[in-house]
Amino acid sequence: MTEPVRISLDAMGGDHGPSVVIPAAVDMLKLHPRLHVLLVGREAVLREHLAHQALGDAGARIEVVDATEVVAMDESPAQALRGKKDSSMRVAINLVKEGRAHACISAGNTGALMATARFVLKTLPGIDRPAIIAAIPSRNGHTHMLDLGANADCEPEHLLQFAVMGAVVAECVHGIDKPRVGLLNIGEEAIKGTEEIKLAAAMLSESDINYVGFVEGTDIFNGRVDVVVTDGFTGNVALKSMEGVAKLIGQELKDALTANLFTKFVAFLGMPIIKRLKARMNPKKYNGASLVGLRGIVLKSHGSADRESFGNAIAIAITEVEKQVPARIEARLAHAFEQREAV
C-alpha cells in the first residue's frame, strides 16, 4: 500500500483527551511520512492544543473535524449510541464508514465504542459478533488473546470465528506463520470444560486453523501458543487479573529493593537486568486492542494511556491498514465455511 494512511482519532476520549492524543499523533506523523491524521473533537479545544505543538511539515497532514459532544467514560453504551450522534467517538467512526479514514482509534468508553462501531460499520460476512483482541507479553514475545470483554456469553460458532480472526491478526500484524491457536479451558484433557467448549474444540479441530487443543491460564504466558481464544467474560477477568498481578509484583519489587542500604546497593548492581525486564514488560508497548470482525478498522486505546502508549496504538492501526486485516479476515472465513460445507 503506497497511498496515504488516514486515521481518525477520537481526540476527546479517555482520561487525558487531547493533551495525550495530539502529542502522540504529532510524534507518529513525524515517524510515518504517509500518515494523515483526522483529529475529531471540539474544534476550538483541538486548535488550542495544536498551537502548542512544534508541527513542522507534519502540520500539513493534520485535519481537524469538529464534533460538539463527548462520550463520558461511565456513560451507558445505549445512551452514547442514541443520544450523542455528534460525539467525537461517533464522528471518528463515521469517517471510516464514509471512506475518509482507513481506521479509527479511541481511548474512550469501551462499551460505547463497541456498540457504536458495530452499529455504524456492521460486521463482516460470516461474523456474528465482533471481538476485542490484544497482545499480551509472554515467554517468547507475546500471545494474542480474544475476546477480552465484548461478548460475555458465546456459542461454539462464535469461538470458531474468534479463532479465525485471531489467527489472521497474528499472521498479518505480527508476521507469525501458521499461528498456534489454543482454546482456554480449565484443563487440557478432552473430558474437561463445558459442552460449548467441547463443541467449539471439535469445530476447531476440523478447520484448517493450526489448532493445538485446550490450554490453561499458564499457557497464555509460556509461549506454547500464539493465539488464545475464550469468551469475553473469562477473557476480561483474566486480563484484569494479569494487570493486578503485574502491579503487585512491580510494587513488591520496588519495596524490596529500596528497603535498606544493602537492598539499594543490590538494586544498583542489578539495574541493567531490571531495566531490560522493565522494557520487556512495559505495558505501553502493548497498548491498542483491535475490535476485529467489523467492516472497518477500530482500535481501543487504554483510557489512561500516555503519549507513548497512544502512539503505539496508532502504529498498530497503521499496520492493520497496510495489511488490510478486515479483507483478510473475510477471505479466511469464506475459506473456512467452504471447507465445512465440503465435509
Question: For residues 192 and 338, what is the distance between their CA atoms, to the nearest angstrom?
Answer: 30
87: DSSP letter? B
Please give the order of strands across the beta sheet that includes 62-66. 62-66, 35-41, 5-10, 103-106, 297-300, 289-292, 131-138, 141-146, 227-229, 181-184, 211-215
- Per-residue cell: 242: 494479569
* Equal fold, 1-127+293-325 vs 152-286: yes
Q: What is 1-127+293-325's CATH topology?
A: Isopropylmalate Dehydrogenase (3.40.718)
- Phi, psi angle pair for 284, to nearest 5°: -60, -30
* Confidence at residue 288, expressed as pLDDT on a 0 to 100 scale: 79
By the 10 Å C-beta count (0-12 exposed, 13-18 middle, 19+ buried), 269 is classed as exposed
For residue 228, give the nearest of 299, 165, 317 by alpha carbon.
165
- Per-residue cell: 321: 491498514
CATH of domain 152-286: 3.40.718.10
73: DSSP letter? T
* Confidence at residue 77, expressed as pLDDT on a 0 to 100 scale: 92
Query: 208 with 335: CB under 8 angstroms?
Result: yes
By the 10 Å C-beta count (0-12 exposed, 13-18 middle, 19+ buried), 97 is classed as middle
Give the pTM. 0.86
If one counts every other C-beta atom within 10 angstroms of the C-beta of residue 194, the result is 12
pLDDT tens over the chain, length 343 residues? 578 999 999 999 999 999 999 999 999 999 999 999 999 999 999 999 999 988 888 889 999 999 999 999 999 999 999 999 999 999 999 999 999 999 999 999 999 999 999 999 999 988 888 999 988 888 878 899 998 988 888 999 999 999 999 998 898 878 888 999 999 999 888 888 889 999 999 999 988 899 999 999 989 888 899 999 999 999 888 888 877 777 777 777 777 767 777 677 666 666 666 666 555 555 556 677 899 999 999 999 988 889 999 999 999 999 999 989 998 888 887 766 666 555 5
Question: For residues 234 and 192, what is the distance between their CA atoms, to the nearest angstrom?
Answer: 16
> Where along the chain do its domains lie?
1-127+293-325, 152-286
SS3 140: coil
Residues linked to residue 178 through DSSP beta bridges, in sequence order: none
Cα–Cα distance list, 79 to 47, 83, 115, 220 (Å):
28, 5, 10, 36
Query: 106 with 113: CB under 8 angstroms?
Result: yes
